[in-house]
Amino acid sequence: MEQAAAKLLEAQKKAVADLLSLDQAKRLKQLEVQQSCPKAFSANLTSVFGSRGSGQVAKDLKLTNQQSSVIDHLIDEATLKIYAHRNRLLFGPNLQPRKVKPTQEELQEYQKKVVEAYKKTMAEILKNLTKDQLAQWQEMSGEPFPGILPGGGTYPDIDSPLIPSLTPKEPEKKPKQGD
**103 in a domain, yes or no?**
yes
Please give the backbone phi and psi of residue 67, each rounded to the nearest 5 degrees, phi first: -60, -45
Buried b (16+ CB within 10 A) or exposed e, 81-109: bbeebbeebeeeeeeeeeeeebeeeebee
Residues of the chain with pLDDT under 50: 46-52, 153-171
Domain that holds residue 78: 27-141
Kindly report the three-state secondary structure assignment for every residue of the chain. CHHHHHHHHHHHHHHHHHHCCHHHHHHHHHHHHHHCCCHHHCCCCCECCECCCCCHHHHHHCCCHHHHHHHHHHHHHHHHHHHHHHHHHHECHHHCECCCCCCHHHHHHHHHHHHHHHHHHHHHHHHCCCHHHHHHHHHHHCCCCCCCCCCCCCCCCCCCCCCCCCCCCCCCCCCCCCC
**63 in a domain, yes or no?**
yes
**88 in a domain, yes or no?**
yes
CA 37 – CA 55 distance, rounded (Å)? 10
In the prediction, which pLDDT does 126 show?
A: 92
**38 in a domain, yes or no?**
yes
In the prediction, which pLDDT does 174 show?
A: 55
**166 in a domain, yes or no?**
no
**2 in a domain, yes or no?**
no
Number of structural domains (the chain) is: 1
**148 in a domain, yes or no?**
no
Q: Helix 131-141 vs helix 22-35: angle between axes, to the nearest 10 degrees? A: 120
Please give the backbone phi and psi of residue 91, each rounded to the nearest 5 degrees, phi first: -130, 155
**20 in a domain, yes or no?**
no
Comparing CA positions, the residue from 137, 152, 124, 138 lying closest to residue 63 is 137
